[in-house]
Chains A and B, each alone.
Chain A
Amino acid sequence: MGEDSASDGRGSGRDIKLVVPGEALGPAGDRIVGHGVGRRGDLLIATRLGHLCEQGSEVSVVPVKTAYMPRPGDLVVGYIEGMRANIWFIDIGAPFNAILPMSLAPGKVDYGATRDAMDVGTTILCRVQEVDESHSSVVTMKGMGLRKLNSGFVDQVPPHLNAQIIGSKGSMIQMLKEASDCRIIVGQNGRLWIEGEPEGVRLVRDALKMIRETGHAPGLAGRVQSLLDS
C-alpha cells in the first residue's frame, strides 16, 4: 500500500474495496483462495473485515486487524510471565504463550534456578524455534543478538501493521531511526524495542501512535515523514 496516492488509491493489481465477513466475492471458478477468503458453494466469500486484494488468480483479504501468529524464525520481543523448574512461559503477544526451555536460555542455567536467572516481568529478545500444529511455540535465546533487554522501552503496533513499519525495503524504519537517533529492533510480533535519548524515544512513540491510528489508510509514509520533519 506504500505507493498509493490519495487521489485514486489503486495500486498495481489491487483494489481497496472494504469487504465484510460473509460478503460474496464472485464465483470461485478457478481462482485461488487466499488469506481471509473462504468458499460457500460455488462462491468465494470474505471471512475477515479488510481490503480485497486480487493478484493474478489469487483472491485474499488484507485484514484491518490480525492477531500475531508465530512462525519459525520470527524475531520477537517477549515478557516472562511465569516459570517452572526448567522452563519459562513467555508472553509473545500471540493467542497463547510460548515456552522457553532451560536448554535454550542464554548462558547456562541450573535446574530449579530459572527464577534467579530471569524473573517474571523480564523483557527478552528471542527467536521462534518451532511451532506445532496447535500453534504452540518454542522460543530460543541462543543466537546472535538474542538477550535480556535491560534498558530502553517497548512499544507496540498491531502485527498486521508491521509491514508498514518495515515499509518497502525497510525505508520507514530507516526514517524513524535517522530522525530519532535511536536504536530500534522490530519484533515480528508487533513489539518494537527502542533505545535512545528521551526526545528520540518520544518521537518514535508518536510516530508509532500515528501508525496505530491511521495505518489502514493509504499515504502512511507521507504522514509519518511530515510528523518526523516537524
Chain B
Amino acid sequence: MANPLVPGLLRDHLSELADRDERVDGRGQWDGRELTIEVNPLPNAEGSAKVTMGDTIVFVGIKFQIQTPYPDRPNQGGLMTSAELRPVAGRHYEPGPPSPESIEMGRVVDRGIRESGCLDVDALCIIPGEKAWQVIIDCFAISDDGNMFDAFGLAAIVALKNAIVPAERFDVGEDYPLPISLMPIMCSYHKVGGRFVYDASREEEVGGDERIHITLGDDGHVHSLQKGLKGVFTAAEFDEIMTAARQRVSELQEIVNNL
C-alpha cells in the first residue's frame, strides 16, 4: 500500500469540522456508517461472511487444514489469521508483497479473536499427538473506504460462528459446527481534526492521526488493545472511547445474534 498523498486543505477542513463537532459526511462523533452483513456468501469456504461499512467491502473466509500438534501440546490445534489488501481495493494501492499495513491488520484481528478465547484450540484435537485442526481466517479486502480493521474483525467472528468443521472431507468423522463460545467485537477509533471518532472513512484516515483498536467480548470484558501510528492521547480520551466502545459492541452483538 503506497503512502497516500495528503492534500493540505483536507487536514485543515477536518479540524474546522471537528471544532464544530461535525464530520465530513454529517455523522456524529460516535456514529457508524451503514452496515450490512451477509452470512456464508462463499460456498467453497467452511464458513464466511461479507461485511460492508459505507463503501468499505470485505470478505472473510474460514478454511480448515489438518496439522500435526506440537509435541509438548499434543491436543492443541492452531489458529492463523491472514489479511490481504490487494490492489483491487483502491486506487492508491500498488501491487507487491504484503505491506506492513496488511500484516499489522492480520495480527490485530488475530489478537482480538485469539485473546478472547472464543475458539478453544484444545478442542481442535482429532488424534492426540498426531492430528489436530488448524483454523485459518482469511481476511480479504474488496473495497477500502476506511476502517478495514473493524470490517475484518466483524466478518471474522460472523464467519467463525457459522463455520462447519469439514470432518467428512478429511475422513475423520462427521461434520459439526465449530464451537465458538463468545463474540469478541473490534471497534476502532481514529484521531481526526484533534478528536477521536468511530468508524473513520478513508478520507478521515488519510487526513487524521493516531488510532486505537479495542476488542471487547461478552459483558464488556476487554480482550485486546492496540494503538497504531504516532501520537498521544490522554486518559480522559481513552475513557471516552471505552464508553463508546462498550455501547457499540453491545449493539453489534445484538445485530449479529439476530442475523
Could you tell me if A151 and B12 are in contact, using CB atoms closer than 8 angstroms?
Answer: yes
What is the CA–CA distance of A206 and B25 in the complex, to the nearest angstrom? 8
What is the CA–CA distance of A91 and B6 in the complex, to the nearest angstrom? 12
Could you tell me if A154 and B16 are in contact, using CB atoms closer than 8 angstroms?
Answer: no
Q: Using Cβ atoms and an 8 Å threshold, which residues of chain B touch A205?
A: 24
Q: Is A202 an interface residue (CB 8 A)?
A: yes
A148 nearest in chain B by CB position? B8
Could you tell me if A198 and B22 are in contact, using CB atoms closer than 8 angstroms?
Answer: yes
List A199-227 residues whose CB lies under 8 Å from chain B.
201-202, 205-206
Q: Is A21 an interface residue (CB 8 A)?
A: no
What is the CA–CA distance of A202 and B20 in the complex, to the nearest angstrom? 13
User: Which of the four size classes fits the interface of chain A?
Assistant: 10 to 19
Q: Is B71 an interface residue (CB 8 A)?
A: no
Q: Known contacts A198-B16, A198-B17, A198-B20; is A149 also within 8 Å of B26 by CB?
A: no
Q: Using Cβ atoms and an 8 Å threshold, which residues of chain A touch B9?
A: 123, 149-154
Q: Which of B7, B13, B17, B26 makes the CB contact (< 8 A) with A79?
A: B7
What is the CA–CA distance of A27 and B13 in the complex, to the nearest angstrom? 54
Q: Which of B8, B16, B24 makes the CB contact (< 8 A) with A123?
A: B8
Q: Is A181 an interface residue (CB 8 A)?
A: no
A205 nearest in chain B by CB position? B24
Q: Nearest Cβ in chain A — how far from B67, in angstroms? A: 48
B20 nearest in chain A by CB position? A198
Name the residue among B7, B16, B20, B22 with the largest chain A CB count within 10 angstroms.
B7
Interface size on B, residues (CB 8 A): 14
A149 nearest in chain B by CB position? B9
Q: Using Cβ atoms and an 8 Å threshold, which residues of chain A touch B10?
A: 153
Q: Using Cβ atoms and an 8 Å threshold, which residues of chain B touch A150?
A: 9
Could you tell me if B12 and A81 are in contact, using CB atoms closer than 8 angstroms?
Answer: no
B19 nearest in chain A by CB position? A198
Q: Is B235 an interface residue (CB 8 A)?
A: no
What is the CA–CA distance of A81 and B22 in the complex, to the nearest angstrom? 29
Could you tell me if B7 and A121 are in contact, using CB atoms closer than 8 angstroms?
Answer: yes
Q: Nearest Cβ in chain B — how far from A48, in angstroms? A: 21
Q: Is A57 an interface residue (CB 8 A)?
A: no
Q: Using Cβ atoms and an 8 Å threshold, which residues of chain B touch A202?
A: 22, 26
What is the CA–CA distance of A91 and B7 in the complex, to the nearest angstrom? 11
1/0 per position for A142-184, CB-CB distance to B under 8 A? 0000000111111000000000000000000000000000000
Q: Is A120 an interface residue (CB 8 A)?
A: yes
What is the CA–CA distance of A79 and B206 in the complex, to the nearest angstrom? 15
Q: Is B236 an interface residue (CB 8 A)?
A: no
Could you tell me if B6 and A121 are in contact, using CB atoms closer than 8 angstroms?
Answer: yes
A201 nearest in chain B by CB position? B13
Beyond the given pairs A121-B8, A122-B7, A149-B9, 12 more chain A to chain B contacts, judged by CB atoms under 8 angstroms and listed by A's residue number, are A79-B5, A79-B7, A121-B7, A123-B8, A151-B9, A151-B12, A152-B13, A153-B13, A198-B16, A198-B20, A198-B22, A206-B26
User: Could you list 10 examples of A-B contacts with CB < 8 Å?
Assistant: A121-B5, A121-B6, A122-B7, A123-B7, A123-B9, A151-B12, A153-B9, A153-B10, A153-B13, A154-B7
Binding site for A on B (CB under 8 A): 5-10, 12-13, 16-17, 20, 22, 24, 26
